[in-house]
Structure 1
Amino acid sequence: MNAPEPNLHGIAPRTGELARIVRVNEEIKAIVATAFRINLMALNAIFLAKRAGNAALGFGVLSNELRRFAQDLTRHMASLREMTSGSVGSVTGVVQQQRMATILAAALKLSGDGVPGAREARRRGAARLAEQQIRLRSLDLRLRAAVEETQQLVELGGVLARSAKIEAAYGGSFSAALMQVSTDFAEVIAQIKRSLEVLGKERLVKD
């Protein structure tokens, strides 16, 4: 009589960590694209401010600051992407160790000590799994801290956008165009805030 197949139910759901990393990377890519858009918008705003002359001096200064903000944001997001890229290997290792642990547990349950070296392999695997989980939690903490730092930067960008909108009112005949640009700034920065809120809720490991 053939021995029953080991019950491996539950292995696939453990790959949820990889799915979380994919979601994190997608949000980061969206923010990077938006930061690039802000940089182009800032260049356009600087051009408009120069055309408006003295009436838009303040708006021009703020546009320069918004361009620096976009460049800083791009650097922040590059750092976040590096962190998540480094975490893929750790998550893959955790998933592999979890799968092996499930297989060994099923084998031991079916045959007791009849599988040579199974208990020792299970012990070594548990030790490696613990190490990888510690590494992954460390990466998760670093990612969360980096997201919080980026959120503070984006708050500054929001202040700059609101200030630019005030300055746009003094732009004379260019006031309407400057107001539209400053409104676009505010909307794009609000979009980045939403993406960062999503990132802030994501975890590389379950609490």
Structure 2
Amino acid sequence: MNAPVPVAELRPPSGELVSIVRVNEEIKAIVATAFRINLMALNAIFLAKRAGNAALGFGVLSNELRRFAQDLTRHMSALREMTSGSVGCVTGVVQAQRNLGILTAAVRLSGEGAGGMRDVRKKGQARLADQLLKLRALDTRLSAAVEETQQLVELGGVLARSAKIEAAYGGSFSPALMQVSTDFAEVIAQIKRSLEILGKERLVKD
């Protein structure tokens, strides 16, 4: 059984609530961007087909970028589920802290006759400790998921750079293919920035 967290170590979770809001906003932005990449990849595949043999390599990379967009969407869906769960955890921490504060004040007011109240307070401390442990575990999982997504986006960056190289061999379609590959690179750079923000956010403040 987990030992209760001392009252002195308990801190208001307002920072955690702010972090959840920020995390959710960045996840929304990445999901929207992943949808955009998928549309861009479909357009790139169409262009590559029109360009024929000159853009075979570009077409292959466009297909890979479409798969990347689909994988990214799945990753972000998993992250969104985690943050949905974190809202419940933080709400539990808020409620447990509020109850514990009321019980602590009641013990102080009751003085020597608060034996039963002290037992209730100990149970409240145990509940709060359990909620904090759950939140820390969720924070660890979220951090690991963000790191895994960052690795995926690095692959997307490599694909975008390779597509730009292949675009140069697209003949008369080269300018259009080059523009599409440039758009890929810019969008993936946006995703990287969002993931950097996610990587810095913590649901539990030390």
Provide the TM-score with structure 2 as the length reference: 0.91
Q: Which amino acid aligns with 2:97?
A: Q
The correspondence of residues 66-85 of structure 1 with structure 2, limited to 5 A, is 66-85=65-84
Report the counterpart of residue 128 of structure 1 in structure 2: 127
Separation in 1, partners of 2:160, 2:15? 38
1:59 corresponds to 2:72: no
User: Does the Cα contact within 8 Å between 2:150 and 2:195 map onto a contact in 1?
Assistant: yes
Q: Tell me the alpha carbon deviations over residues 174-206 of structure 1, each in whole angstroms, 9 at most, x when there is no partner.
A: 111101000000000000000000000011111
Separation in 2, partners of 1:139, 1:105? 28
Separation in 2, partners of 1:18, 1:83? 14
Provide the TM-score with structure 1 as the length reference: 0.90
Separation in 2, partners of 1:163, 1:129? 51
Separation in 2, partners of 1:104, 1:113? 14
Q: 1:99 offset after TM fit, Å?
A: 1.4
User: Does the Cα contact within 8 Å between 2:136 and 2:204 map onto a contact in 1?
Assistant: yes
1:188 corresponds to 2:190: no
After superposition, the Cα gap between the structure-2 partners of 1:46 and 1:88, relative to the gap in structure 1 and judged at 3 Å, is same
Structure 2 counterpart SS, 1:117: helix
Q: Tell me the alpha carbon deviations over residues 28-52 of structure 1, each in whole angstroms, 9 at most, x when there is no partner.
A: 1110110000000000000011111
> Which range moved further: 100-109 or 126-135?
100-109
Q: 1:163 offset after TM fit, Å?
A: 0.3
> Which range moved further: 141-150 or 113-122?
113-122
User: Does the Cα contact within 8 Å between 2:12 and 2:97 map onto a contact in 1?
Assistant: no
Unaligned runs of 5+ in 2: 1-9
1:119 corresponds to 2:121: no
The correspondence of residues 3-42 of structure 1 with structure 2, limited to 5 A, is 13-42=12-41
The alignment of Structure 1 onto Structure 2 pairs a total of residues equal to: 197
Separation in 2, partners of 1:76, 1:68? 12
Q: Which amino acid aligns with 1:94?
A: V
Q: Which amino acid aligns with 1:31?
A: I
Report the counterpart of residue 205 of structure 1 in structure 2: 204
Separation in 1, partners of 2:116, 2:43? 68
Q: 1:114 offset after TM fit, Å?
A: 4.7
Q: 1:21 offset after TM fit, Å?
A: 1.1
Separation in 1, partners of 2:13, 2:81? 23
Separation in 1, partners of 2:26, 2:196? 10
Report the counterpart of residue 161 of structure 2 in structure 1: 162
Q: Which amino acid aligns with 1:134?
A: L
Structure 2 counterpart SS, 1:41: helix
User: Does the Cα contact within 8 Å between 2:13 and 2:90 map onto a contact in 1?
Assistant: no
User: Does the Cα contact within 8 Å between 1:14 and 1:98 map onto a contact in 2?
Assistant: no
* RMSD between aligned residues: 1.6
- 4+ long deviations beyond 6 Å: none
Report the counterpart of residue 89 of structure 1 in structure 2: 88
Percent of paired sites with the same residue: 83
Q: Which amino acid aligns with 1:52?
A: A
Q: 1:12 offset after TM fit, Å?
A: 10
Q: Tell me the alpha carbon deviations over residues 63-119 of structure 1, each in whole angstroms, 9 at most, x when there is no partner.
A: 000000000000001111111111211111111111122222223233424557321
After superposition, the Cα gap between the structure-2 partners of 1:12 and 1:133, relative to the gap in structure 1 and judged at 3 Å, is closer
Of structures 1 and 2, the one scoring higher in RCO (CA 8 A, sep 6+) is: 2
